[in-house]
Structure 1
Amino acid sequence: MDISFWKHHPISDQHGHQLAQEAIDFQYKFQFDFLKLTPAGDWLAVCYGAEDEVWENDSVGRRKITGLPIKEIKDFYTLQNFSFQEDLLVEILKASNICCTQVEVPVYLTIFCPLSQLIQISGIDLFLRTIQTEPEAIYAALDVINHNTKKVIEKASEIGVKGLYYVTQHMQANLLSFEIYNQIGKLYDEDCLLKAAESFDAIIFHLHGNDCYACIAENIPKLSIHYSYNQAETINRISIKNAGYPIIYGLPALILSEANNLQDCKKILEKFPTNTLLTCDCVLPLDFPSEKINLWKSFAHSL
C-alpha cells in the first residue's frame, strides 16, 4: 500500500524556495511514495487580488482571506488572463520546479477548482445573489478562471509535475446545492480535469468538507476521489460511491493518532475500507507527531 501525508508550511508558503525546501525536507524525513506540494489554499485567489492575513497560529496552517477583489456584480467581468508574472504564481511554480528536480518520487501540485476560486474572490453571498440575478456575470468570470487554471496545469506539467491534487470546497450541501453545482461548476471541472488527464499521470479530486455529494463528469481518465472517511453512511456518500471512480478515504488525524503500534494500525484500518493509498483526510495538523507518521509508514509498507 502506498502512503503519502502532507502538511501546510505557513510563512514559507509565500516564498518558492522556502516552500520547496520545507516540502523536500518533509519528504526526505518520511520517504512517502509521492510528494504533494501544499501551498496556502487561497494561492490562486491571491493571484486575482485577494488579500489574506499573515498566518496566525491556525493549527493546520491555514490563512484567512481578508479582502475580496470582487465586491459587486460588475467586478465579475473584470478578471484578466494571467500574465504568469503574478508574484505568488511565480513563487508556487518555482517551488514546484525545485521539488521536481530534487526528489525522485512524483510531485503533485494542489490546485483549487474554478468554482471554488471564484467564491474565494467574491464571497459566497455575492456569488449566490449574482447567480440568481445576472448569471452571465458568473460565467464570464469562470471562463477566465477556467482558462487560467488550464494554463497553470500546462505550466506545471512542463516543469515536471506528475500529479494533480484538485480541490473543491463547495461540493457540499451546506454551502451549495447539488443543482447549483451541477449547473455552474461541473462543466468547468470537466474541462480542467480532462486537461489534467492529458498532462499528468494521476489526478486526486479532493472533496473538502462534510456531507459532500458527487457532481463529477463521467469517464475522466486517471481520476480518483478523495474525501474524509466517516463511518456513518449518508445518501451523499453513497452517491460518491456510485460515481464510478476509485475512492481514497482520508483518515482523520484523530483516528491516525490513536495508533501506538502496528497492531493498532491494523485494527484501525480494518474499520475502514481498504485503499491502494493510505493518507490523511485533508492536511495533518502542524504538530502531528513524527513518530505517528513513521508508524503508519511502517505499517503501510508492511502490507
Structure 2
Amino acid sequence: MKPMDHWRRLEATLRGESSDCVPVALWRHFPVDDMDAGKLTALTLAWQRKWQFDLLKFMPPGTYGVEDWGAKTAYAGAANGARVVTDPVVRRTEDWEKIRWIDPRSGAYGQQNIALGQTARSLGGTVPILQTVFSPLTTARKLATERLFADIRCHPAALHAALRIITDVTIDFCIEALSVGAHGIFFATQLASHRLLTTVEYEQFGKQYDLEILDAIRGRCRVNMLHAHGDDIMFDLLSDYPVELFNWHDRLTDPDLSRARRHFPGVLVGGLNEHHTLLHGGRDAIADEVQDAVVQTDGRKLIIGPGCVLPVETSDASIQAVLDAARNMEAQAA
C-alpha cells in the first residue's frame, strides 16, 4: 500500500478502513521544563519530529488547571513526570467560594495555549494536535484533594457552584486552544472509577459537566479523545460520550480491547503496558502486545498507544520497538 501521511492514516482509521500501517501515538511529560512555554514548545517539537507519531497529544503540566486559583504544585520525582499539588486551595467546604471565574488566556492556563500555538505553527498542520483538558471534577479534586469526596456527599450545593465556574473556564480554554491550532482535545477524567464514586455520583458531578464541554466545542474539532484514568473505570457510562477516540489502561483494568470494541463505536487507543512492558519487556514483549492489540480489534479502528503517560525513563529502543512492530503488522497483512 502507498505510504500515507498522518492525517490520511488517521482518517482511514476513523472510517474503519485499513491503512499503510497501524497508527501509533505515544506521549510523555517533560518535568520542570514544561513550566516554561518556550521550553515546552521546543521539547514537543523535538519529540514529534524525532518519532513522527500519528497524533500529537500536547503535554502541559498536569496541574496547570489549578495554579491560577492559587494551588501550589511541584515536581517530586514521579516516574511519569507528573506534578503534584503540595498546597490545595480548598481545605474547608466554604473555600469552594474562592473559585471565581478567571481568564484562561492568561496565567498558567494561558501559557499552555501559547505553547500549543507555537507548536502548531511550527508543524504547519502536518499532524493532528490535541490539547490536554481535564474534566471539571478532576480539576475540583486537584483543588481540594481528598476532601472532595466528603463535599460530594455532605455539601453538594457548594461543589456544584464551583463546578459551574470550572466548567465555564474549561470551555473558554478549549475554545482558545482550538483557535490557536489544536485540532481537538484530549479530555481526561480521573474520577470515573467505581473505586472512587458510585455511578450516580459521577453522573451528577462528572458526566453532566463533561458533556457540556464536549457539546460546547462540537463542530469546532476534527477529532477528540476521551481518557479514563485509573482502575475499574465506568466504561459503559462513558462509552456514549461524543468523541472519536477512547483511551484507558486497557492492559491493567477492564475492559480489554475486544470487549470495549462491542460497546464503543469509535477508535480505541491502547494496547501497551507502559508501566511494565515498555520499561522492562524488551522488543519481543513489546511486539507481542502490539500484535495482540491488532488481533483483539481485527486491526481496525485502533491506534497503538499507552494506557496513560509514558514513564520518563522509557528508552528510545522501546519507542522504536513500538513503531517497528506497528509497521510490521501491516507488512504481514500485505
Tell me whether the two structures share a fold, i.e. TM-score over 0.5. Answer: yes
Size of the alignment, in residue pairs? 297
SS in 2 for 1:198: coil
Deviation per residue, 1:209-236 (Å, 9 max, x gap)? 111113337361x43221111377569x
Q: Is the 8 A contact 1:226 1:250 kept in 2?
A: no
Q: Which stretch has the larger CA shift, 87-96 or 153-162?
A: 87-96
Partner of 2:320: 294
Task: Please say if 1:281 is aligned against 2:281.
Answer: no
| Cα deviation digits, residues 107-147 of structure 1 (max 9, x gap) | 1111110011011101232x222223321111110100110
Letter in 1 for 2:98: T
Q: CA deviation at 1:41?
A: 1.3
The farther-off stretch of 224-233 and 59-68 is 224-233
- Matched residue, 2:45: 24
In the alignment, structure 2 segments of 5+ residues that lack a partner are 1-21
Given the superposition, is the C-alpha separation of residues 40 and 231 from structure 1 closer, same or farther in structure 2, using an over 3 Å criterion?
Answer: closer
Q: Which amino acid aligns with 1:297?
A: L
Correspondence 1:255 to 2:277:
yes
| Residue 141 (structure 2) pairs with residue 115 (structure 1) | no
- Partner Cα distance (2:254, 2:229) in 1: 17
User: How does 1:220-239 map onto structure 2 within 5 Å?
Assistant: 220=242, 222-230=243-251, 233=254
1:170 alignment partner, one of 191, 201, 206: 191
Select between 85-94 and 136-145 the one with higher mean Cα deviation: 85-94
Q: Secondary structure at the match of 2:238?
A: coil
Among 133, 140, 150, the alignment partner of 1:129 is 150
SS at match of 1:21: helix
The Cα offsets for residues 26-65 of structure 1, whole Å up to 9 and x where unpaired, read as: 1111111122111121110112211112x23221111110
Structure 1: distance between partners of 2:254 and 2:55: 30
Q: Which portions of structure 1, spanning 4 or more consecutive aligned residues, are displaced by more than 4 angstroms?
A: 231-235, 237-241
Describe how 1:56-95 pairs up with structure 2 within 5 A: 56-84=76-104, 86-95=106-115
TM-superposed CA distance for 1:299, in Å, is: 2.6
| Paired AA for residue 70 in structure 1 | V
Task: Give the match for residue 14 of structure 2.
Answer: none
Could you tell me how far apart the structure 2 residues matched to 1:67 and 1:43 are? 14
Distance 2:283 2:104 in 1: 47
Distance of 1:241 and 1:35 partners within structure 2? 27
Q: Is the 8 A contact 1:164 1:196 kept in 2?
A: no
The answer (yes or no) to whether the contact 1:204–1:223 under 8 Å persists in 2 is yes
1:138-163 deviation per Cα after TM superposition (whole angstroms, max 9, x unaligned): 11101001101100010001101012
Would the aligned equivalents of 2:69 and 2:89 in 1 still touch at CA under 8 Å?
A: yes
Q: Aligned-pair distance for 1:171?
A: 0.8
How far off its partner does 1:298 sit?
Answer: 2.5
Q: What runs of 5+ residues in structure 1 fail to find an aligned partner?
A: none
| Rounded Cα–Cα distance in structure 1 between residues aligned with 2:218 and 2:286 | 34
Determine the C-alpha separation between the residues in 2 that align with 1:181 and 1:238: 22
* SS class of match (2:283): coil
Aligned partner of residue 248 in structure 1, secondary structure: strand
CA distance in 2, matches of 1:82, 1:69: 15
SS of aligned partner of 2:233 = coil
**CA-CA distance at 1:166 after TM superposition:** 0.7
Structure 1 residue 240, shift from structure 2 partner:
8.8
Q: Which residue of 53, 58, 71 maps to 1:37? A: 58
Counterpart-to-counterpart distance in 1, 2:272 and 2:255: 17
TM-score (norm 1): 0.90
Partners of 1:241 and 1:247 within 8 A in 2:
no
2:7: which partner in 1?
none
* Aligned counterpart for 1:158 among listed residues 164, 172, 179: 179
Q: In the alignment, which residue of structure 1 is the partner of 2:9?
A: none
Q: What percentage of residue pairs aligned between the two structures are identical?
A: 21
**Local SS of the residue matching 1:27:** helix
Which amino acid is the alignment partner of residue 113 of structure 1?
A: S
CA distance in 2, matches of 1:163, 1:171: 21
The one-letter code sitting in structure 2 at the alignment partner of 1:165 is F
Larger CA deviation: 266-275 vs 84-93: 266-275
- What is the identity, as a one-letter code, of the residue corresponding to 1:78? K
Question: Of residues 117, 120, 128 in structure 2, which corresponds to 1:106?
Answer: 128
- Pick closer, same or farther for the CA change 1:146–1:200 going to 2, 3 Å: same
- Are the aligned partners of 1:186 and 1:217 in contact in 2 as well (CA < 8 Å)? no
TM-score by length of 2: 0.82
Distance 1:232 1:199 in 2: 32
**Matches of 1:231 and 1:137, distance apart in 2:** 35
Counterpart of 2:221?
Answer: 200
Q: Note if contact 2:267-2:303 (Cα within 8 Å) is conserved in structure 1.
A: no
